[in-house]
Amino acid sequence: MKWTWPLVLALLVAACGGSAGAPRPDATPTATATAVRTPAPPALCRSALAVRKLGRAAGPALTELSGLVRTRTGTFWTHNDSGDSARVFELGKDGAWLREVRLPGVEAVDWEDIALRGRTLYVGDIGDNLGQRKSIAVHRFAIPQGSTATVTTVELRYPDRAHDAEALLVDPRTGQLAIVTKNLGGAADVYTATRAGTLKKAATVELGIGQAVTAGDVSADGRTIVLRTYDSAYVWRKTRAQSLAAALEREPDCTAAADLLGEGQGETLALSRDGRAFYTLPEGAKPVLRRYGG
């Protein structure tokens, strides 16, 4: 139907129970009718999530996993929490051990999360249980062919005080780094990195008492962000133009219909490239690799 001003006026008057009559020849519209499209909710918000056990991550070195990402080919990269040397592990689609890659010249203080942008891995040495570190670090390196990687380390400082954090996010479009703090009070702060190596507080995420953020990820298409706690996964829709902090300033689009507490202590989450599923590995020996999604 072609919308004309006389037709719009007639419909408005008819809705009020009157007659439009003939409009003046010089009458001009003062408003236009536009259709407002509500963005579709993220796929992880649309129904209860099916859970599949894909296999176990078996290997004597895999004892306290605290970060997970999924590559374009379907393999995974992960690492241990504090107490391990500077190394990451590649796992197969079923969690099977593939290889170990060492990061020469790098110190592992308290590695907590890992992110992926293209073929570049980012390891977040961002944990600080006692809240006393003067600086934290993010180690960046291209996925190597061999058993060692050439690493660039970015040292970062908070603008206010030390914070404990377990979630590292990287914007797949811009490369922006964001760190989400861990707080049992339920208010997680989002800090973004500046060129000067100083972190800037950019947003606060209110999840509720006891909901401490233990991992997070951004889908490779840039449209979905998920932050997890020990028992829940919170999902945000992100537009291409939005920064990570701008997307996280809103309330989550949903809490995914998945109970993560039964896995054990969970500090990992990796999104599929299209954000329609996520994967987890709990801590402990021979942890089960799970996929959540429709």
- CA quadruple 22, 28, 30, 34: dihedral sign: positive
Phi-psi region of 176 (alpha: psi -120 to 50; beta: other; left: phi over 0): beta
pLDDT at 37: 59
Whole-number mean pLDDT of the chain?
89
Confidence label for 196 from pLDDT (cuts 50, 70 and 90):
confident
Neighbouring CB atoms inside 10 A of 105's CB total 9
pLDDT tens-digit readout, 104-115: 999 999 999 999
* Measured distance CA(102)–CA(119) in Å, rounded: 17
Confidence label for 38 from pLDDT (cuts 50, 70 and 90):
low
pTM (2 d.p.)? 0.86
Tokens of 220: 């490779």
Tokens of 190: 């989002």
* Those residues with Cβ within 8 angstroms of residue 190's Cβ, 6 or more apart along the chain or in another chain: 178, 179, 180, 181, 201, 202, 203, 204, 205, 244, 245, 248
Place of tokens 């006692």: 130
pLDDT tens-digit readout, 238-283: 998 999 999 999 999 999 999 899 999 999 999 999 999 999 999 9
Mean pLDDT of 84-100: 97
pLDDT at 24: 39
* Measured distance CA(4)–CA(2) in Å, rounded: 6
* Secondary structure letter of residue 105 according to DSSP: T
pLDDT at 79: 98
pLDDT at 149: 98
Mean pLDDT of 278-294: 95
pLDDT tens-digit readout, 116-163: 999 999 999 999 999 999 999 999 999 999 999 999 999 999 999 999
* Those residues with Cβ within 8 angstroms of residue 44's Cβ, 6 or more apart along the chain or in another chain: 224, 226, 233, 235, 254, 256, 275, 276, 277, 278, 292, 293
